[in-house]
Amino acid sequence: MGTPEFQPSEEWVVLGRTIELSQPANPHSAIPSAPWIMGIVNATPDSFSDGGDFLEPGAAVDRALLLVGEGAQIIDVGGESTRPGAHPVGIDEELRRVVPVVRNLAQQSDVCISIDTTKSQVARAALDAGAHIVNDISGLMFDPDMPHVCAAAGAGVICMHIRGTPQTMQDDPHYEDVVEEVRHFLEMRLTELERQGISRRHIVTDPGIGFGKTAEHNLEILGNISRFRSLGRPVCIGHSRKRFLKKLLGRPVDERSFATVGVSVAVALQGARIIRVHDVAATRDAILACRAVLTKCRVKNAE
């Protein structure tokens, strides 16, 4: 069996800038083709892992800057929990939570900023405040104005698969073939969003780990990243500390960091181009160290 390979480079257009997602995660490293790391900043009281820790704007910005220092190239700011069963948040409250964080972060860092929202008004305000990317768990379907907002701004878009809503998505999800059905959904969304004015070059796909899937469904998706890459767009994976890891290992949420890193390496080896995590430094270091060893393996095998 050959040594696993990191996948070829892929481009993403964000606000008129072409991002080469295969650039080294560490600019001082000679190791190419590591995925970009997206650090999570939840400005919420009820997110499943860190709810309440960064609710105040100052704390959220400090957290974001810490993650940037650890190697995150993207910071994903969210003001509404999307954990299973989470209650919806009103537009005014979500704006109050996220806009000051985005604005202050943009003033203090040139990191790419993503706004994690399904609401077009929140997306527009965040983009005006300095965000570059809209990360929408609904695949830009919950709010009919979202595609227009993203297209008008030229924003980068992360289009995710979900079945149902955060309130209903874990009510006995069923698929005949989860990989093919999720892939088909994403393929249809790429076509529809292009029709609504968003070029495919602006879109990254996300199969939606934990959003309307059982633990077995999640593992099937995580083991078949190539099927989603075959759509021709970069793939983002957001698995950090999620419930399927409890099913797999029996550990509570505050003991899932090591498992998160293991999955991160596995999907990086399959060509995932963005990995969304809470633990940036551990993820970055593990992927780069793995890549360094595999590079030596290839050199030796080629001799």
Residues recognised as catalytic: 242, 276
Q: Give the number of other Cβ atoms within 10 Å of residue 107's Cβ.
A: 10
Coil, helix or strand for 3?
Answer: coil
Distance between CA atoms of residues 207 and 238, nearest Å: 9
| Contact call for residues 157 and 203 (beta carbons, < 8 A) | yes
Coil, helix or strand for 67?
Answer: helix
Coil, helix or strand for 79?
Answer: coil
Distance between CA atoms of residues 166 and 106, nearest Å: 29
Distance between CA atoms of residues 295 and 94, nearest Å: 45
Q: Which residues, other chains included, contact 13 with Cβ-Cβ below 8 Å and sequence gap of 6+? A: 19, 154, 156, 199, 201, 202
Distance between CA atoms of residues 71 and 57, nearest Å: 21
Instruction: Give the DSSP H or E segment for 12.
Output: strand 11-14
DSSP state of 34: P
**What are the residue ranges of helices labelled H in 80-145?**
91-108, 120-129
For residue 43, which of 3, 72, 11, 80 has the smallest C-alpha distance?
80
Distance between CA atoms of residues 45 and 284, nearest Å: 27
Burial of 238: CB neighbours in 10 Å, binned 0-12, 13-18, 19+: buried
Give the pair of three-digit tokens for residue 286. Answer: 């593990």
Coil, helix or strand for 279?
Answer: coil
